Amino acid sequence: MEPWQGAPDSGWEKAQEELAALGLTDGLPVVPPTPARVEAMLQAHGYAADEVVCHLAPMREPACWRDIAINAVMAGCLPDCLPVVGAALEAMAAEEFNLTGISTTTGSAAPLVIVNGPAAARIGMNCAANALGPGSRANATIGRAVSLALRNIGGATPGEVDMATLGQPAKYTCCFAENEAQSPWAPLSVERGYAAGDSVVTVVGISGTVEVVDSASSRSGDLAQTFAQSMLIAGTLGGAGLIGGGEPLLIVPPELAATCERDGCSKQALKAAVFARAVMPLERMSPAVREHLTGRGAAGGDPLRVAHNADDIMIVVAGGVGVKAAYAPNWGGGSRAVSRKLRTA
């Protein structure tokens, strides 16, 4: 490699120092949100700068398009990404998402942003190989803009309001698009009531991700068994009688989705098969945990399940070549996924 030969930016270092001193960064360098950059982002969509999109917890502060654009610029977003950031924040402001809990817990909760529809391809989102990793500017900067906005608008300052004991990398950024072109099933957005041509953002409060590898199984029932056993993690214990928060997410690569489809297994059938198998007998928990669960309303001898019913399990197809899936446990404090359609001016 060679050093970049472009013209030096004499104000770059000063801008980084000033923005960091104001507490507006996430520890990484940001793009200085100059008036010209912010205005260009707003004009690209005709959004009114002062229009309030939502109120963000935990401080319930109003988030107008100008505020959202400032954070999107700092995150490195291109102007086309702004509607996705706005829709994600609007979704997180819904009561059922429980942003107050997610942004203040000592747990590792973080928002995961999933994008469906034509907007994903239009702005260059990655839905295929390494969809949860680096390489896509849109994926990386949209997730980062959401996280910056939660801090800078909502007030979730780490160590002061955001009290996560450890946190997780998803607190920097966590965003991908569904691989609809290679999925044999209806996309998440259609499952959630939107039209096939709609551009939709869905947010999920997750506690991390767990890789799920099964290169041996060629039948849907066997895959369901692997998925189910991978979801029984005692440390994600959520509400009474549930492992995790009750709306677990499986991110399934196209190869495994195709295996299920060839076996005559629809997405709904896979959910039912996973639900039936994802059961942990209460006696596997420590005596202290069993007593705690009983005190919170869990029936004495009933096993722990990953969700209240099969339909609560979320399945999204993403990724490239290979049979590596992922399980994203919900935050155990109680949160429901929320979807919003992208706004037009």
Q: pLDDT tens across 216-252, in order? A: 999 999 999 999 999 999 888 876 568 887 799 999 9
Average pLDDT, the chain: 94
Task: Name the pLDDT band for 285 (thresholds 50, 70, 90).
Answer: confident
**3-class DSSP state for residue 253?**
coil
- pLDDT digits over 42-99, tens only? 999 999 999 999 999 999 999 999 999 999 999 999 999 999 999 999 999 999 999 9
Cα Rg of the chain (Å, integer): 21
89-98, 151-160, 298-307: segment of lowest average pLDDT: 298-307
Cβ–Cβ under 8 Å, residues 329 and 248: yes
**Nearest alpha carbon to residue 147 among 124, 168, 123:** 168
Domains of the chain, residue spans: 14-181, 208-329
Distances, alpha carbon 69 to alpha carbons 8, 104, 202, 236, in Å:
25, 24, 20, 35
Task: Look at the block and give the residue holding tokens 């209806």.
Answer: 186
Burial of residue 326 (number of CB atoms within 10 Å: 0-12, 13-18, 19+): buried
Helix and strand totals (H; E) in the chain: 12, 12
Mean pLDDT across the stretch 132-138? 97
Measured over the CA atoms of residue 281, residue 286, residue 289 and residue 293, the dihedral's sign is positive
Q: Would the pLDDT of 206 be above 60?
A: yes
Cβ of 296: how many Cβ atoms within 10 Å? Answer: 10
Q: Which residues pair with 340 in a beta bridge?
A: 201
Cα separation, 67 vs 46, in Å, equals 15
Phi and psi of 112, rounded to 5°? -105, 130
